[in-house]
Amino acid sequence: MQGMIRCVVVAGLLYGCGPGDTVTPVDGAGSSGTAALSIQWKAVPGDWPGDINSSVTIDEARFSFDNLRVIGDAGPGDPRTTETTFEVRWDSGTTPASIDFDNAPIGLYSQLSLQIAGRDLSKNSYELRGTVDIGDRMEFRIEDKLPMPIALSIDKMLMPNKTATVELEIDFVHALSGVDFETMDVDNGRLELNETDPEIIGFRKKLVESFKPTDGSN
């Protein structure tokens, strides 16, 4: 009869295997343990309502997400690092809560994938509201029903019994920098830009560019 096999497990690797021994895990090793991964949101500007420039103020931003996935090199698409169907919102009294994956597998994470999408075609994927001075101060609204995928590169190592944080910034100053408010359509006394306007294509590009992981990650 063959003897039992004794192995020491260190960060998912096996060492010291020999006949007649038992399996001995090192504390914190394995595919998950108590390791945690946290997504924290940051906005530019940091205060709401916030000044984009001397003429433009943003009052509210809302995003509807179909999913957010933090993708590890060892297991892309792991449900333990996936969040589905949620909203992120900034306004004068609201900032987004972090998204915490308390049972994330240890290892290297190299991609953050997001899908901004309304729950159905009647719902907006995102909405931005504020005011702009174009001779007179007017309200503006930018909204879009089309889905918008975003893929970001990250470099985050999650160790056993540790928490790693990815700080995700949305730079609304950059997103709104290309908007020509003076040419926007006026509806009920408010400036409007939506998926029916050709100018929304350029805005989508700027908005995607505005999502980025920052050096504040640890």
Please check the confidence at residue 110 and state whether its pLDDT lies above 60.
Answer: yes
User: Rounded to whole angstroms, how far apart are CA atoms 191 and 106?
Assistant: 48
Element (H, E) at 144: strand 137-144
For the chain, give every domain's residue range: 1-30, 31-213
- Stretch 34-57: mean pLDDT: 95
Categorize the per-residue pLDDT at 21 as very low, low, confident or very high, splitting at 50, 70 and 90: very low
Contact (Cβ atoms closer than 8 angstroms) between residue 99 and residue 63: no
105-135 CB burial, b ≥16 within 10 A, e <16 = bbbebbbbbbbbbbeeeeebbbbbbbbbeee
* Single pTM value for the model: 0.81
The contacts of residue 172 (CB under 8 Å, 6+ apart) are 43, 44, 45, 50, 52, 58, 61, 128, 210
Task: Please tell me which of 9-13, 62-66, 118-122 the model is most confident about, judged by mean pLDDT.
Answer: 62-66
